[in-house]
Amino acid sequence: MVRKKKHKFSTTQIILLSFLATVFIGSALLSLPISSATGESVPYLDALFTATTSTCVTGLVTLPTVSSWSVFGQVVILLLIQIGGLGIITIMSGLMILLNRKMGISDRLLIQDAFNLNTMSGLAKFVKNVLFGTLVIEGIGAVLYMLVFVPEFGARGVWISVFNSVSAFCNAGIDIIGENSLCDYATDPLINAVTSALIILGGLGYIVWWDVLRVIKSRTSKNRKIFRHLTLQSKIAITATAGLILVGAVLIFIFEYENPNTIGNMSLFDKIQASFFQSVTTRTAGFAAIAQENLTNASAAVSIILMLIGGSPVGTAGGMKTVTVAVLFCSAIATVRNKNSATLFGRRISEESVKKAVAVTVTFFTICAVSTVMLMATTDADALDVVYETVSATATVGLTRNLTSTLNAFGKLIIIVTMYFGRVGPISLAVALGSKNESQNVISEPTEDISIG
């Protein structure tokens, strides 16, 4: 009797399925009467949408989080956000380490793929650092939030502070303060500063954290040229993040300066901090300090571009990622200048990195384009609002021009699928669904030149 060969899932497929399983478990819990603020079950589609947006750390919601869910429901949402931000593989690996279980090769491969790392050495220590660093930063953020929320909300302010800190660090953009996100705190320096710091730290990526700390520890007090000794990825991530936030803030400040529906009636200082916050939150965070539907078309376009780029690799942010865009840009410049390879900060970028960047970008835009066309076919909303919504969903941002709550059943399903694909990552999706690697082919296809451009 011939025994059938069991199908073995690849590490990337396991990661994709783990996110999917988390979404469905979360939706089942949220559909229970105990999760609802009224004690009556919410429609399953809304529960599924909320579980997806939480696990995919997006922030788009069909139901107001503060008034629709009980404390139990909010706890479920917070756990989904934390799991989605860190990744189910990281959580499980942390539990294995806590229980003193030895990680095998398959476990290490899962962690390596989950964080898109190039090596399997020191993975246990990496996971410990990720979990410890996350808890420390979220804890500090919660304490700072309490300075505002406890005096305002009393004991409930503690829960609000913890929820907001986790949501901000994981770039989820979901809050339990009110139904207009952080618009009531648009001119509060502490809320703006703490939220922006959590968003940026989460979006920079864990690898950048440890690299900066490594350089700081290794440098003597007489030689503090920290940036010079960072890895290429850290240099790109930090430079691109700082540049995009600054440019975005300046452009939004200019375009919204006289807009009475956003920052037009604010003082100069408040205009600056509101513009800065808008630039930061578009990096896949999703908190809104000003109503997105009131933005000028120019500011909306700038926000869409910032959402598309997103944060940095191996972090909690979404989007195409800063490093991806930087690699593509430098590769294009090198091609225009007829150079053999692209360079950044005196280092040559490998062809493999360029290929991955192209794959991520093409897949990302394909998901976004298909989602946009399908959503336009199911709604009569303004084209800009639809594009804003689909880009926000694909890049797991969570900002909306008041479209999410008006979506019909088909529209909700489209955004659910878009958020999932956007979170698991275009390149992970391509690898998981792909068959055999091309290098395994014995005979390669003939080469022929074609015209480009």
Work out how many domains the chain is built from and give that number. Answer: 1
Mind listing the pLDDT tens digit for each residue in 192-246? 999 999 999 988 888 888 888 888 887 654 556 778 888 888 899 999 999 999 9
- Structural domain contains residue 333: yes
With a pLDDT cut of 90, the percent of the chain lying above it is 55
- Structural domain contains residue 234: yes
Closest CA to 200 of 147, 142, 246, 146: 246
**Could you tell me the sign of the dihedral formed by the alpha carbons of 377, 382, 385, 387, in that order?**
positive
CA distance 281 to 399: 9
Measured CA angle at 364 (ends 360, 369), to 5 deg:
150
CA distance 292 to 402: 8
- Structural domain contains residue 109: yes
Mind listing the pLDDT tens digit for each residue in 343-369? 888 888 888 888 888 888 998 999 999
Mind listing the pLDDT tens digit for each residue in 399-440? 999 999 999 999 999 999 999 998 887 656 655 555 445 444
Tell me the DSSP string of 23-62.
Answer: HHHHHHHHTSGGGBSSSSPPPHHHHHHHHHHHHTT----S
Strand, coil or helix: 69: strand
- Structural domain contains residue 443: no
- Structural domain contains residue 1: no
Q: How confident is the model at residue 445 (pLDDT cuts 50, 70, 90)?
A: low
Q: Which amino acid is at 294?
A: N
First to last CA, the chain: 58
User: Residue 46: its pLDDT value, please?
Assistant: 96
Which range marks the domain in which residue 310 is found? 11-429
- Structural domain contains residue 453: no
Lowest mean pLDDT among 7-16, 159-168, 292-301: 7-16
CA distance 241 to 92: 30
- Structural domain contains residue 308: yes
- Structural domain contains residue 368: yes
Q: Does 104 have pLDDT greater than 50? A: yes
User: Residue 92: its pLDDT value, please?
Assistant: 65
